[in-house]
Amino acid sequence: MKNNIYQEEFISKMNHPRRPFLLSFQWVLIVLISLSGLQPALYAQETEYINPVWRFGVAGGANFNFYGGSTQQLSELFRSPVAFENGSGVGLFAGPLVEYYRENTRLGFMLQVGYDSKKGEFEQQLLSPCNCPADLQTDLVYISVEPSLRFSPFRSNFYLFAGPRFAFNLNNIYRYEQGPDPSLPVQEASDKHNDDLSNTNNTVISMQVGAGYDIPLTSVNNPAKIMLSPFVSYHPTFGQDPRSVETWNVSTVRAGLALKLGMGEAKPVPQKVIVPIIPEVKFSVIAPQNFSSERNVRETFPLLNYVFFNSGSTDIPDRYVLLEKDGVKDFKYDREEGFEPLNTTGRSGRQMAAYYNVLNILGDRMQKDNTSSVTLIGNSEVSVQDGQAMAVSVKQYLVDVFGIDASRIASEGRNNPKVKSEQPRGDSDLALLREEDRRVTIESDSPTLLMEFKNGSDVRLKPIEFRSLQNTPFDSYVWFDVDQGTNAFSSWNLEVADANGQTQTYGPYSNREVSMPARLILRDKTEGQYKITLVGHTPNGMKIRKDTTINLKMYKVTANEEGSRFSILYEFDESQAMDMYEKYLTDIVAPKIPAGGSVRIHGYTDIVGEEEYNRQLSLDRAKNAKKIIENSLMKAGRNDVKIYAFGFGELESLSQFDNQLPEERFYNRSVIIDIYPKYNSGTK
């Protein structure tokens, strides 16, 4: 029954007197929305605009109407058989608005004038004695004038408003319909009435209170300010009596949106003064007060107890030195007399040549000690049998060439070595790490084959010694450290000026640390004082300069002066020395440091992993070795030694070995300890 009522229009929409008003409202809305599309880029970006004081726009929403009281006398000619009580409905509200509000204040003013529908439907009533349903709908329409005081408690976009409401009646239509007896549902409605309500109040004075929030739709650089403001308000029953008779009253909750437009006032933006930020950079120089241009060095070189095999092959790779049986008598790598002096600056092919003789060194030692024995463990990712075949290849060489009794050599195969190179942090370089795990490990319990002070199957082979000539000893270098330079500078240079003002320029550099031989700075002089200037170039074009002064002096090496070099190896991604090296540093290396001597410890890594991570890892390794040596000297009551620790990571220019082969990467995971007979203090 109720649905049938809505199927009929109360009035013809096209002929209704409010049609022109609605069309005008639509045009205002279209114009405002079009204006909101203005791009801020059309206006000078250096000017900001504050929100306007006067704002004009439109508001629209839904009236949620609630009926109270009762009504029965609907017109002068019709009285319903029953009184109607309580009801509800939803009506339209739409109209223009004006607002006055100054930004960052609390008080303002608002005025809304609009089409205001109080449309609704009363609760259905039943008529006696037929029990017939009766329905009543009303369509009250007003033009409302709603002035309000606007209050912003927080001086923000949130606001409250309240004020009177003046409503002028436009429509007061009602529709009454009495349905048929429920026991005879096929009958049509027995009574229908469409008419104007009688005794309607043409003017209603009430009140309203609400809250809203302004949402800017344009930027601060756009003078045309458009805001979208959701709002909600409450119109109480006070004063809202539609008729001058009976007790019928209305209360309303309105929810809607307001679209506001105004021209903002220009707000000159103070010219921004860009103060250059000078990066925090520490510049330090470590330079020897006196140094030698060359030095004899006795080097103790560690021997890996590994033989690495190529993928898919169980034959010993041809990079290893394999002797014929009649060449064994001339082999001298492990003999007391040592070797001819060699240049060991930079990458050292000499050391790798020594390592590639590891099987010959092992065979030579087993010949000298016929009680020694070894176990060869072949580790293969293919199968245990493949690993066994690799181990047998090494065993066969020792038996056939050096004549070692086969019973002294055990062999076995495994899938993985006890200490694997493949680690979680090496995910990006898995191919390199897996290549390292394809190897034969040499294990022994014979002291003559192993490092001093250690025993057990996991101990490295005894190191070898040889003498060499360093044309540019490590302690003759000048080191320049630009802490935070890689973050602050796109590049940096060094200006080196002598006492006469002659300047040499080096660079540009991009890494943190740079070193150069002191004799490169001295040139043809034997001593001199120099002003060192760092010139850093920032990405925004600034130049940062920092100065310091150094003194350099070259001395001539005496005939019997000799330095010492030791190396210790670290496992992949480890910064703590293996147990086998701690006693080695304490009991072998530390006692060889002469009184007043100096020690330079430099750490390295291979190329697996991130460059900056590797630099820190290498420094941690150097500091680890330094701490062990310092503790040993302290226990001996010595404080006459100056020890420096450096970390070079995977730096190609200073790396001791290449990184193409597994054995090269193993040897790059190392710390090198240079011991010098004279104390060369560094200055910063």
Does residue 600 sit within a domain? Answer: yes
Q: Domain holding 507: CATH number?
A: 2.60.40.10
Looking at 504, 531, 553, the residue that finishes a domain is 553
Instruction: Write the CB contacts of 200 (distance below 8 Å, at least 6 apart in sequence).
Output: 140, 169, 172, 242, 243, 244
Looking at 508, 532, 553, the residue that finishes a domain is 553
Which DSSP symbol is given to 327? G
Q: What is the 3-state secondary structure (H, E, C) of 410-463?
A: EEEEECCCCCCCCCHHHHHHHHHHHHHCCEEEEECCCHHHECCCCCCCCCCEEE
Which DSSP symbol is given to 182? T
Does residue 673 sit within a domain? Answer: yes
Grouping H, G, I as helix, E, B as strand and the rest as coil, residue 367 is helix
Distance CA 440, CA 677 (A): 40
- Between 9-13, 150-154, 477-481, the lowest mean confidence (pLDDT) is in 9-13
**Under a CB-based contact definition with an 8 Å cutoff, are residues 133 and 178 in contact?**
yes
Most confidently modeled range among 250-254, 458-462, 492-496: 250-254
Confidence of residue 181 (pLDDT cuts 50, 70, 90): confident
Mean pLDDT of 95-116: 94
Does residue 275 sit within a domain? Answer: no
User: Which amino acid does the sequence have at 610?
Assistant: E
For residues 307 and 184, membership in a common domain is answered with no
Q: What is the 3-state secondary structure (H, E, C) of 266-324?
A: EEECCCCCCCCCCCCCEEEEEEECCECCCEEEEEEEEECCEEECCCCCCCCCCCCCCCC
> Tokens in use for 678?
């004279």
**Under a CB-based contact definition with an 8 Å cutoff, are residues 577 and 570 in contact?**
yes
For residues 650 and 608, membership in a common domain is answered with yes
b vs e for 60-82, b when ≥16 Cβ sit within 10 Å of the residue's Cβ? Answer: bbebbbebebebbebeeeeebeb
**Under a CB-based contact definition with an 8 Å cutoff, are residues 144 and 166 in contact?**
yes
**Higher pLDDT pick, 370 / 352:** 370
Confidence of residue 221 (pLDDT cuts 50, 70, 90): confident
Mean pLDDT of 298-313: 90
Distance CA 266, CA 163 (A): 32
Q: Domain holding 420: CATH number?
A: 3.30.1330.60
For residues 376 and 487, membership in a common domain is answered with no
> What separation in angstroms does the CA of 368 have from each of 300, 309, 404?
21, 27, 11
**Under a CB-based contact definition with an 8 Å cutoff, are residues 134 and 148 in contact?**
no
What are the φ and ψ backbone dihedral angles of 609, each rounded to 5 degrees? 105, 180
662 pLDDT exceeds 50?
yes
Q: List 531's β-bridge partners, or say none.
A: 497, 549
- Between 103-107, 137-141, 205-209, 525-529, the lowest mean confidence (pLDDT) is in 525-529
Residue 538's pLDDT is 86
- Between 17-26, 308-317, 362-371, 619-628, the lowest mean confidence (pLDDT) is in 17-26
Q: List 343's β-bridge partners, or say none.
A: 469
Mean pLDDT of 347-367: 83
> What separation in angstroms does the CA of 624 have from each of 406, 547, 564, 599, 601?
42, 32, 19, 14, 10
For residues 87 and 217, membership in a common domain is answered with yes
Distance CA 275, CA 270 (A): 15
For residues 335 and 421, membership in a common domain is answered with yes
Does residue 273 sit within a domain? Answer: no
The neighbour count for residue 438, using CB atoms within 10 Å, is: 23
For residues 512 and 378, membership in a common domain is answered with no
Mean pLDDT of 15-38: 46
**Under a CB-based contact definition with an 8 Å cutoff, are residues 472 and 517 in contact?**
yes
- Cα distance between the two ends of the chain: 99
Confidence of residue 168 (pLDDT cuts 50, 70, 90): very high
Structural domain harbouring 228 = 2-268
390 pLDDT exceeds 70?
yes
pLDDT tens-digit profile of 447-456? 888 877 666 5
Q: Where are the beta strands (DSSP E) in 78-190?
A: 79-101, 107-117, 120-122, 125-127, 132-151, 158-178
216 pLDDT exceeds 70?
yes
For residues 423 and 456, membership in a common domain is answered with yes
**Under a CB-based contact definition with an 8 Å cutoff, are residues 92 and 115 in contact?**
yes
Residue 33's pLDDT is 47
Residue 578's pLDDT is 66
301 pLDDT exceeds 70?
yes
Number of domains in the chain: 4
> What separation in angstroms does the CA of 396 have from each of 66, 241, 392, 577?
105, 116, 6, 34
307 pLDDT exceeds 70?
yes
- Between 282-291, 442-451, 672-681, the lowest mean confidence (pLDDT) is in 672-681
For residues 429 and 504, membership in a common domain is answered with no
For residues 224 and 320, membership in a common domain is answered with no
Residue 92's pLDDT is 96
Does residue 633 sit within a domain? Answer: yes
352 pLDDT exceeds 60?
yes
**Under a CB-based contact definition with an 8 Å cutoff, are residues 515 and 291 in contact?**
no
Confidence of residue 490 (pLDDT cuts 50, 70, 90): confident
Does residue 579 sit within a domain? Answer: yes
For residues 76 and 197, membership in a common domain is answered with yes
For residues 118 and 148, membership in a common domain is answered with yes
> Tokens in use for 161?
């408003």
Looking at 436, 460, 484, the residue that finishes a domain is 460
Q: Taking Cα atoms as reference points, which of 531, 476, 480 lies closest to residue 284?
A: 480
> Tokens in use for 579?
């147990």
> Tokens in use for 613?
């991570």
Q: What proportion of the chain, given as a percentage, has pLDDT over 70?
A: 82
Q: Considering all CA atoms of the chain, what is the largest pairwise distance in Å, rounded to the nearest integer?
A: 140
Confidence of residue 348 (pLDDT cuts 50, 70, 90): low
For residues 156 and 11, membership in a common domain is answered with yes
173 pLDDT exceeds 50?
yes
Element (H, E) at 547: strand 543-553
**Higher pLDDT pick, 11 / 229:** 229
**Higher pLDDT pick, 221 / 146:** 146
34 pLDDT exceeds 60?
no
- pLDDT, the chain, mean: 83
Q: What angle do CA 189, 193, 197 make, to 5 degrees?
A: 150
